[in-house]
Structure 1
Amino acid sequence: MTTGELLIALFQAYKDKNDDAFMKAAITLIDEEKAKNHYVLANNLKKILSSPSTSSSRWGGGFTNNIHRTFDLPRDKDNGGYLVEVKYPHRTFDDVVLSDNVQKQLENIILEYKKKSILHAYGFVPKTKILFCGPPGCGKTITAEILANVLDLPIIYTRFDALISSYLGETASNIRKVFDYADRNNCILFFDEFDAIGKSRDALDETGELKRVINSFLQILDSFNNDSLVIAATNHEKLIDSALWRRFDEIISFDKPDEQQIEFLILAKLRAFKVENLDIKNFAKKLEGFSYADVERVCVESIKYCLMNGDVPLDNSIFDLKVKEEIKRAALIKEIGG
């Protein structure tokens, strides 16, 4: 269909209050813009369709179709469940505190992606296969969302509860479906808790099926040459198969924050709230060894306490109370985890 015909179909669907016809025309229009290499326009149109409506529509529900329905997400053959979830994050670098080294690695990835046409012209390709590793709560998932926002791409979260099948051969088939979807749509394909499928084939407790899954993943990753970014994140990098390590263009290690980074994080999280003579340096020392997520939880719980007790300013006594609670929580988790 020509662009003019698609616009007529869109307007006709709106007039007829026909949700399905509107979506069909809209998706076709987006696909045509993508075929013309108008990726920014295509992604912006996708973002509008997938974002929740802020007002009721003229026919009491509007084009609130779920993104799952809109873009034919891959499904598990056995139970029909979706293998991925699509989101358009709005995270920025203000939402996380990163080391200088990690920041530089990310800036290089962003620059290469934005300059990919220049690299292609000289026979080079940008870094598109990236491994995030490090302890939990240190910003791996948030950073993937930041990259998606900065590059104006949707982020495709793989759902391991659906991806891993009990049927022989189906897990590898599901992985291929996910990569095929990423091949058709410019995106960031994000595998969180990657060790769930990337565990070393030499591990004594691994089954033959999981070893076949890893072999399939290696083959698929090797042949995947799309402009989409593949990001895998793990808290247990030592469990990852050595062959998988070599397939990634960039490996970024996230560490727990030092005292100075904890100070920056506390300041960032409390910048919009009333604070009264808070001894941030002292609390940063007490929280050394904790993750970014732990420090953020202390800040959030402190703010909630103030709001629920008459919107009082946040002072040392309140923050100290929440720091002590977080220390007890960490001790309990350690005791339970052995």
Structure 2
Amino acid sequence: MATAEQIKALIRSHLSESHEQFFTVALQVAAHEARHGHSDLAHDIRQMVDNARLRPTVIIKFPNDLEGLVISEKPAIPLEALVLSADIKARVERIILEFRQQNKLKSHGLNHRRKILLTGAPGTGKTMTAEVLATELSLPLHTVQMDRLVTKFMGETSAKLRQIFERIRAVAGVYLFDEFDAIGGERSLDNDVGEMRRVLTSFLQFIENDTSDNLIIAATNNLRLLDRALFRRFDDVLHYDLPGEAERSRLITNLLGTFYGKQFPIAEAVAVAEGLSHAEIDRACRDAMKLAILNNKNYVTLASLIELLKERHAAYQGREE
């Protein structure tokens, strides 16, 4: 049977509608049952989690020549799962509130903020923010693969963008333009080409003329590459930093779940995690849990987590060399 801590963790995650945390604890229960020889039960639990995690991902029905460019999904990531600074999280909550109360704002001649630019290093929560917004607003998330748009359709990118914005007017959802710097580069850069200048000009016109109620989000890893003319087209610009001490502590505690022992010296792990992104800390914690399971333990040791966090640091250094 599941331990008392696991049962309480399941109840807490259910009440807070934290689906991913619920799945994590459920898998911990499966591992616990497997260690006690209940292999059939463990298999059934893992199968249920796998089935629940399968989110249908379909391609929006654009013309055939745009197949694979825009991907639609229905995320299930609640606001509680977003570990960000208090300032950024408050601004995300403001976007949600204004969207939900847009009719009230319109009755006073005001519009809700819906054109949002997210900037920051990779793995700091930009894409997850779009997923959370879609979840909280009960809307599908439509992700436009900007890098594919540019590389696959050079010479006709502006025409494809027009089709996308026509879809934005027609289909409700949260629209994420990922890897936005692929077209949003400064028009005066020496390595720029005429085609990309035309694409950026087209995008500026499309986003300025868009009058739909949908959320349009652009995400970039490199703010310095963006054309300054872009900023006034957005209702809000959110800058994402690497997690601070408080965010790192919450991340590690949340991710480890019941694998987080009561005597776990969290401060040491938080210190070692400094300089890592949210995504890198996530990977290290999940690797630590896998290591514990494979060693028939129901808790993560500080030594193993620190070693895995150091591995993530080494991976970063390798990319920078």
Query: How far apart are 1:165 and its partner, in Å?
Result: 5.5
Q: Which residue of 2 aligns with 1:214?
A: 200
Q: Which residue of 2 aligns with 1:67?
A: 58
Query: How far apart are 1:205 and its partner, in Å?
Result: 0.4
Query: How do residues 60-139 of structure 1 correspond to structure 2 at under 5 angstroms?
Result: 67-68=58-59, 73-75=61-63, 77=65, 80-139=66-125
Task: Indicate the SS of the match to 2:233.
Answer: coil
Query: How do residues 1-338 of structure 1 correspond to structure 2 at under 5 angstroms?
Result: 67-68=58-59, 73-75=61-63, 77=65, 80-164=66-150, 169-273=155-259, 275=261, 277-335=263-321
Amino acid at match of 1:67: V
Whole-angstrom distance in 1 between the partners of 2:300 and 2:132:
29
Which string of whole-angstrom CA distances, capped at 9 and with x for unpartnered residues, describes residues 54-96 of structure 1?
69xxxxxxxx99733xxx522464xx53320001100112323
Whole-angstrom distance in 2 between the partners of 1:299 and 1:167:
40
Whole-angstrom distance in 2 between the partners of 1:310 and 1:66:
35
Whole-angstrom distance in 2 between the partners of 1:81 and 1:217:
20
Whole-angstrom distance in 2 between the partners of 1:83 and 1:156:
10
Q: Output the aligned Cα RMSD.
A: 2.2
The answer as to whether partners of 2:258 and 2:299 remain within 8 angstroms in 1 is no
Query: How far apart are 1:103 and its partner, in Å?
Result: 1.3
Higher CA-based Rg: 1
When residues 316 and 329 of structure 1 are mapped into structure 2, their CA distance, relative to the original with a 3 A threshold, is same
Q: Which residue of 1 aligns with 2:11?
A: none
Query: How far apart are 1:271 and its partner, in Å?
Result: 1.6
Query: 5+ unaligned residues in a row in structure 2: which ranges?
Result: 1-50
Q: Which residue of 2 aligns with 1:28?
A: none
The answer as to whether partners of 1:129 and 1:231 remain within 8 angstroms in 2 is yes
Decide which moves more: 82-91 or 267-276: 267-276
Whole-angstrom distance in 2 between the partners of 1:248 and 1:263:
32
Query: How far apart are 1:252 and its partner, in Å?
Result: 0.6
Which string of whole-angstrom CA distances, capped at 9 and with x for unpartnered residues, describes residues 8-44 of structure 1?
xxxxxxxxxxxxxxxxxxxxxxxxxxxxxxxxxxxxx
Q: TM-score, normalised by structure 1?
A: 0.75
Whole-angstrom distance in 2 between the partners of 1:74 and 1:119:
33
- How many residue pairs get aligned? The number is 270
Whole-angstrom distance in 2 between the partners of 1:162 and 1:334:
25
Q: Which residue of 1 aligns with 2:4?
A: none
Whole-angstrom distance in 2 between the partners of 1:166 and 1:83:
9
Whole-angstrom distance in 2 between the partners of 1:278 and 1:177:
53
Task: Indicate the SS of the match to 1:198.
Answer: coil
Which string of whole-angstrom CA distances, capped at 9 and with x for unpartnered residues, describes residues 160-215 of structure 1?
35422566641001111111111111111101111001111111101100000001
Query: How far apart are 1:158 and its partner, in Å?
Result: 0.4
Whole-angstrom distance in 1 between the partners of 2:90 and 2:290:
35
The answer as to whether partners of 1:83 and 1:178 remain within 8 angstroms in 2 is no
The answer as to whether partners of 1:189 and 1:231 remain within 8 angstroms in 2 is yes
When residues 165 and 318 of structure 1 are mapped into structure 2, their CA distance, relative to the original with a 3 A threshold, is closer
Query: 5+ unaligned residues in a row in structure 1: which ranges?
Result: 1-53, 56-63
Task: Indicate the SS of the match to 1:262.
Answer: helix
Task: Indicate the SS of the match to 1:131.
Answer: strand
Q: Report % sequence identity.
A: 33
Query: How far apart are 1:249 and its partner, in Å?
Result: 0.3
Whole-angstrom distance in 1 between the partners of 2:166 and 2:177:
15
When residues 167 and 157 of structure 1 are mapped into structure 2, their CA distance, relative to the original with a 3 A threshold, is closer
